[in-house]
Amino acid sequence: MDGKKVTFVSFEELTDLVMMSPECTFLGSGVSGSVYLFTVLGEKLCVKKSHEKNYMRIFGHEMNLLHEVDGAGGAPLVRYMAYDYPAMVMEYRGHTDFNEFFYTCKSSSKRILALIKLAESLQEVHDKGFVHMDLKADNVLVQHVEEDSNFHVNIIDFGLARKAGEDHRGFNSQSEHYAPETRIKGKVSPTMDVYSFGDLISFVSDYLKNKKQSKKLNVLAREMMDPEAGKRPNLTIVQERLHEIMNITTKCKRLKKRVVEAVAAATVMVQKI
């Protein structure tokens, strides 16, 4: 099946497709609808269904945008779209959101690696000319690769996304992950996503055991959340800084290993004496 081609079907036909699956698992819900995981011919897919019929325009906007983003940043490709009810079938991109990953992953290095991978995914979206506008933990999925311990970080839910440079009317929300300029009229800019990413990094920094890493992450987060959009670092700089912070763990482990080896060697010498 051509991943770029969207097949339009009736809602009844779309429902029949989902019913072909031996089981359908609820993954989550948001303002515009609920998402379920199902399997057809061995392939995992997701169906997103609206709570109300009047969301047709919103679903249409997201479908068109996902088509243009074309999988950048791990964004799911749309396979089927209902023409008579707001519902669509998309590729499966995992079900572990960033919050769940963070709390179950005990490795500081892996947590920071996830941030690096998120920065790379976000850069892909920006390179396509789009701004996500709603980057937060539950819109980031960590998809594990079964063959090894590697993982992908995918950005989902493009319902609020816009093209960079478009006029933005502003929206009223008190959520802390939104940049201040999203609440007023202006131009859509990638710096809005940088701010939201900084909010996510700030959350991670509070829970790292390595105090030096935590402090440096916190400093980076504050820079990314600067009230003045022009003062925020771009994603290239963010990635460089994250790599530097992750290397702190590697250096600490090397130093710890040397200390352990030195103590062991000294113990052997004392025993010989």
Reply yes or no on whether the pLDDT at 222 is more than 70.
Answer: yes
Q: What is the DSSP string of 75-109?
A: PPPEEEEESSSSEEEEE---SEEHHHHHHH---HH
**CA 125 – CA 148 distance, rounded (Å):** 26
Residue 262, pLDDT score: 56
The answer to whether 48 touches 90, Cβ cutoff 8 Å, is yes
49 among annotated binding-site residues: yes
CATH code at position 222: 1.10.510.10
Per the prediction, the chain carries an average pLDDT of: 90
Which one of 91, 119, 150 terminates a domain? 91
In this prediction, residue 1 carries a pLDDT of: 41
**Mean pLDDT within 70-74:** 97
Nearest of 125, 154, 30, 39 to residue 86 by alpha carbon? 30
Distances 92 to 72, 86, 163 between C-alpha atoms, Å: 14, 19, 24
CB burial class (10 A; 0-12, 13-18, 19+) of residue 68? middle
Percent of the chain with pLDDT over 70: 88
Nearest CA among 20, 161, 162, 163 for reference residue 89: 20
Report if residue 228 sits inside a domain.
Answer: yes
Domain co-membership, 120 together with 235: yes
Q: Which of 53, 76, 91 is the last residue of a domain?
A: 91
Domain boundary among 91, 124, 140: 91
One domain for residues 85 and 110:
no
Q: Give domain status of residue 262, yes or no.
A: no
pLDDT at 29 over 80: yes
Q: pTM value?
A: 0.86
* Residue 105 resides in a domain: yes
> Does 114 lie in the same domain as 76?
no
* Long-range pairs of 155-158 with CB within 8 A, sequence gap ≥ 24: 155/73, 155/74, 155/75, 155/118, 155/121, 155/122, 155/125, 156/74, 156/75, 156/76, 156/93, 157/30, 158/62, 158/65, 158/66, 158/69, 158/75, 158/130, 158/132
Q: Please count the structural domains in the chain.
A: 2
pLDDT band, residue 257 (cuts 50/70/90): low
Q: Do residues 52 and 136 both lie within one domain? A: no
Q: What is the pLDDT of residues 93-151, one digit of tens each?
A: 998 999 999 999 888 899 999 999 999 999 999 999 999 999 999 999 998 866 556 89
- 264 domain residue, yes or no: no
Same domain, 50 and 139: no
> Structural domain of residue 101, as residue ranges?
96-254
